[in-house]
Amino acid sequence: MNTAKNIIEIICPCLIKNNNKLSEKDVNEYIIDKKINSECHICLEEFNQGETVSVIKCGHFYHTHCLYSWFLTRKVCPLCDIELIID
């Protein structure tokens, strides 16, 4: 289950990390430093500079606001259905 870290390394140059170092939480938030050529599978919009994304432990990432509205109904990854523990 270390896929998340691999993906984070791939997208890392595009993201500014929060001050706290990578935690073992199921969901970690980042701010996008430059446009990522990828889309959020919840709203189907591309990720743009300055937006906040949440990277979850399976390695998938979504806009934070999209993910949290999704979490209101189900606390799983929208793509792979993995269960998530959120603070």
Give the residues lining the site for Zn ion (CB under 5 A). Answer: 40, 42-43, 58, 60, 63, 66, 77, 79-80
Least separation, in Å, of the C-beta of 36 and Zn ion?
12
Of the pair 27, 63, the CB lying nearest Zn ion is at 63
Q: Least distance in Å: CB of 45 to Zn ion? A: 5
Alpha carbon distances (Å) from 19 to 7, 12, 15, 28, 30: 19, 14, 12, 12, 10
Which of residues 22 and 76 has its CB atom nearest to Zn ion in the complex? 76
Instruction: Provide the token pair at 80.
Output: 């792979």
- DSSP helix/strand/coil, 11: helix
